[in-house]
């Protein structure tokens, strides 16, 4: 039924709302008090997962070649470190590579405990500085064992004394030397120690928004398990990109740059002179016969009359051809290519 405007205006709105509430109440479990619905707050929706903020500056992924080479270095590091530290500590220790993580430098520093043990190192030919992060509790266990004590965990952790700081620097140098060996098949690193800090806020090395690669390891010493992390700015691999990621290095060049390279190459080819020789035949002789040659002498060639001519480019055989004439000049028709170089 369609109501006129006058009929619609004459309706009692309060009465209509009341009737609606009665209908909802009659619905049993699906009923609801209209006032409760209208006055409800948003706390009931807090359990729902809302949109998550997305940082467009965060790194996304690595190319397949780059990741494979980094994983190879990580796995090699774990094997060498297991042998090296087992020998150093005179007790069984296991170092396992657990994967790669992409983060930003600021997020990584914000996630570190205080105090902690993190060192700034240089690894030329990698650009800039890298980090070696050791679990602080693990460092104290190492120090106890190296100084003849029992390798048991500390009840509490604290910042290093000056003597402990020196021992910690020695541990960092040990780890970077192992990294040098692990990366030896790809690049010859030259590690150097810069600084060691218990407070990550004192570290420099990169901007907060810098994309980094974290190489994660797990160390197991007796019943203690602790993480070790090697941190590399993604930009550090710029000088060795062609080694770690050959395909990615090629993709760094734009199509415009490649077109410009081709144009330069073609200009160079057009401006470079080259010698091209068509050889009728060859004979072996001696210097005396050559000195006795006279006008009218006939040279007997080993080639048959129908044998093709050999065309040489810069002394190398490149084509076969047939002798002929073009207008009033002699010519050679190319019949077969011997090399594509």
Q: What is the pLDDT of residues 219-251, one digit of tens each?
A: 998 888 999 999 999 999 988 888 888 765 555
Which SS3 state, helix, strand or coil, does residue 106 take?
helix
| pLDDT the model gives residue 33 | 52
Instruction: Tell whether the model's pLDDT for residue 46 goes beyond 50.
Output: no
Domain ranges in the chain are: 64-251, 274-337
Q: Measuring CA to CA, which residue among 289, 333, 293, 295 is closest to residue 311? A: 333
- pLDDT tier at 10, thresholds 50, 70, 90: low
pLDDT digits (tens, 9 = 90+) for 109-147: 999 998 999 999 999 999 989 999 999 988 999 888 888
Do residues 178 and 80 touch, judged by C-beta distance below 8 A? yes
Alpha carbon of 18 to those of 97, 144, 231: distances in Å? 69, 79, 67
What percentage of the chain reaches a pLDDT higher than 70?
Answer: 79
**297-339: pLDDT as tens digits:** 888 777 777 778 888 887 788 888 888 888 888 888 888 888 7
pLDDT at 56 over 60: no
Q: Is the pTM of this model over 0.75?
A: no
3-class DSSP state of 91: coil
Q: Per-residue pLDDT tens for 80-117?
A: 999 999 999 888 899 999 999 999 999 999 999 989 99
pLDDT at 253 over 90: no
Same fold, 64-251 and 274-337: no
Domain 64-251 sits in CATH at 3.40.1550.10
Taking residues 164-175, what's their average pLDDT? 94
The confidence score (pLDDT) of residue 203 equals 81
pLDDT of residue 29: 44
Best CA proximity match to 191, nearest among 200, 209, 178, 208: 178
Which class does domain 274-337 fall in? mainly beta
pLDDT of 275 reads 79
CB neighbour class for 325 (10 Å; exposed up to 12, middle 13-18, buried from 19): exposed
Q: What angle do CA 323, 326, 332 make, to 5 degrees?
A: 25
């Amino acid at each position: 039924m369609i109501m006129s405007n006058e009929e619609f205006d004459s309706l009692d709105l309060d009465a209509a709302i009341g009737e609606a509430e009665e209908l909802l109440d009659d619905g049993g479990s699906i009923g609801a008090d209209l006032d409760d619905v209208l006055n409800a707050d948003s706390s009931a929706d807090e359990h729902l997962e809302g949109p998550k903020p997305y940082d467009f500056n965060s790194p996304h992924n690595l190319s397949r070649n780059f990741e494979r080479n980094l994983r190879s270095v990580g796995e090699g590091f774990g094997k060498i470190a297991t042998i090296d530290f087992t020998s150093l500590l005179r007790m069984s220790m296991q170092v396992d590579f657990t994967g790669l993580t992409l983060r930003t430098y600021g997020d990584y520093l914000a996630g570190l405990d205080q105090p902690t043990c993190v060192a700034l190192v240089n690894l030329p030919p990698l650009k800039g500085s890298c980090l070696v992060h050791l679990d602080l509790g693990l460092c104290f266990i190492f120090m106890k064992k190296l100084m003849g004590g029992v390798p048991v965990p500390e009840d509490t952790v604290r910042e290093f004394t000056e003597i402990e700081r020196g021992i910690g620097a020695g541990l960092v140098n040990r780890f970077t030397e192992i990294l040098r060996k692990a990366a030896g098949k790809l690049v010859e690193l030259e590690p150097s120690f810069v600084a060691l800090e218990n407070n990550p806020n004192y570290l420099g090395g990169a901007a907060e928004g810098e994309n980094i690669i974290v190489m994660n390891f797990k160390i197991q010493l007796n019943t203690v398990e602790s993480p070790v992390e090697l941190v590399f700015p993604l930009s550090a691999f710029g000088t060795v990109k062609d080694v770690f990621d050959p395909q990615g290095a090629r993709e760094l060049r734009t199509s415009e740059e490649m077109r410009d390279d081709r144009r330069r190459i073609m200009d160079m080819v057009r401006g470079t002179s080259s010698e091209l020789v068509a050889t009728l035949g060859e004979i072996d002789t001696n210097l005396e016969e050559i000195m006795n040659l006279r006008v009218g002498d006939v040279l007997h060639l080993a080639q048959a009359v129908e044998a093709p001519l050999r065309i040489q480019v810069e002394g190398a055989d490149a084509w076969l051809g047939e002798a002929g004439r073009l207008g009033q000049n002699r010519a050679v028709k190319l019949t077969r290519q011997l090399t594509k170089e």
